[in-house]
Structure 1
């Protein structure tokens, strides 16, 4: 499909800003965040770069808007998995199901929309951190799931700090193994087994008894050395 045809069909006078964002999203979908430029988006919409610059001061502003749209898609993928969950009353089962659902939604979006997924995590020039990572809706959903597990007592309070980073690392790392790593060419059976074991180990780790003092000190000594 020619992405420019879709954008031009949806463009109406007075809605140029949104048309440019949709065009930029199509560019990102095909070529990742580096493909998002004012000139390319303007060309797809069928306007001059000068007209586009009336809505975006430069490339970074357009990329920011594109990331927001990509984040919306990621959130929707996570919500779709949560909606599939059966209703359960047991709080631990519910909490772990929510954990699995938001993680699966993250992986699903990454593998179905790799260009937009990479755009979610693209950093603009001069930015010191990923796109408002702690306030973006997908990560707020992940934090809410971790908070839920802590509130019901499944996640020990001493292990709550930075648990969302550990979970994110596991799921994001698996996504990157699928997109750019050796699991990209793996069979569907192996990929499914990798997802299942990653989620199982992660969920077990959250609720498992803490390390003994000696084991924990050994671990921290190596990390801090």
Structure 2
């Protein structure tokens, strides 16, 4: 996966708002949402806090922008995991492999970018977050692109006959909860102590179990 940031942000001219967001993404990558401080982002790009406040009402607005970037980067990791899969002649099996792959990309992002991963799921006061119940993401909202990637994969399981239609409602929550929980156990729980090869085996077995449950026919 391509680097989340392209080195230390520097502002020269033009789009200061975007430069501040990029600097704040770097801060999040270093230490999670607590590191996203508007004054720190301003210092990183070489402008005054006053200049930064012309583009953001406050800390919460900058954090929301970084959270969106984190969600987009997470989705990109999921998409890349699907992209590298070999093509299959069986659409149903391909749908199964795709679902496993997006889970693999999810966990990989958490492991490789823990600070930005945590920021992607931090709490903010944004109205969009309050309106999202975890069942249906608003169309076109960039902060929910990873959720829509999962939903599309589950719809494909149904379309190819691998998932029973009656199992489809709220399946996102079951899959998401399992993969998110696994990611946090690896980052902050006892699975952090596993050697990388054992950890990867646990991840693959977990993903296989999740998809097997989603596609059970009996």
Q: After alignment, is 73-82 or 105-114 more displaced?
A: 73-82
Match of 2:9? Answer: 7
Report the counterpart of residue 80 of structure 1 in structure 2: 80
- 1:42 matched residue in structure 2: 42
Is the Cα–Cα contact under 8 Å of residues 77 and 108 in structure 2 kept in the other structure? yes
> Aligned partners of 2:197, 2:54: CA distance in 1, in Å?
50
Aligned length: 205
Gaps spanning 5+ residues in structure 1: where? 211-225
2:141 paired residue number: none
Q: Which moved more, 1:141-150 or 1:35-44?
A: 35-44
Structure 2, unmatched stretches of 5+, are: 139-143
For 1:20 and 1:168, the matched residues in 2 are separated by: 31
Confirm whether residue 206 of structure 1 aligns to residue 208 of structure 2: no
Task: Indicate how the Cα distance of structure 1 residues 165 and 123 shifts in structure 2: closer, same or farther if over 3 A, else same.
Answer: same
**Contact kept? 2:100, 2:208, Cα under 8 Å:** no
Structure-2 residue corresponding to 1:103: 103
1:145 alignment partner in structure 2: 153
1:168 aligns with 2:176: yes
Q: C-alpha distance in 2, partners of 1:168/1:13?
A: 41
Structure 1 residues 146, 159: CA separation in 2 closer, same or farther (over 3 Å shift)?
A: same
Deviates more, 1:109-118 or 1:198-207: 198-207
Q: Larger deviation: 83-92 or 188-197?
A: 188-197
- Are residues 37 and 130 of structure 1, via their aligned partners in 2, closer, same or farther at CA, if it must alter by over 3 Å? farther
| Match status 1:159 vs 2:161 | no
- If asked which structure has higher relative contact order (CA below 8 Å, sep 6+), I would say 2
Moved more, 138-147 or 180-189: 180-189
Residue 186 of structure 1 pairs with residue 194 of structure 2: yes
Root-mean-square deviation (CA), in Å? 1.9
TM-score normalized by the length of structure 2: 0.88
**Alpha-carbon distance in structure 1 between the residues aligned to 2:117 and 2:174:** 19
When residues 202 and 130 of structure 1 are mapped into structure 2, their CA distance, relative to the original with a 3 A threshold, is farther
Kindly state the Cα deviation for residue 191 of structure 1 after the two structures are TM-superposed: 0.7
Secondary structure of the structure 1 residue equivalent to 2:8: helix
> Could you give the per-residue CA deviations for residues 7-36 of structure 1, whole angstroms, max 9, x where no partner exists?
12xx22122111100110011001101111
- Which residue in 1 is equivalent to 2:59? 59
Q: CA separation in 2, counterparts of 1:182 and 1:13?
A: 47
- Contact in 2 for aligned 1:32/1:115 (Cα 8 Å): yes
- Which structure: larger Rg? 1
Corresponding position of 2:113:
113
Task: Give secondary structure in 1 for the equivalent of 2:9.
Answer: helix
- 1:129 is displaced (CA, Å) by 4.1
Runs (4+) of structure 1 moved beyond 6 Å? none
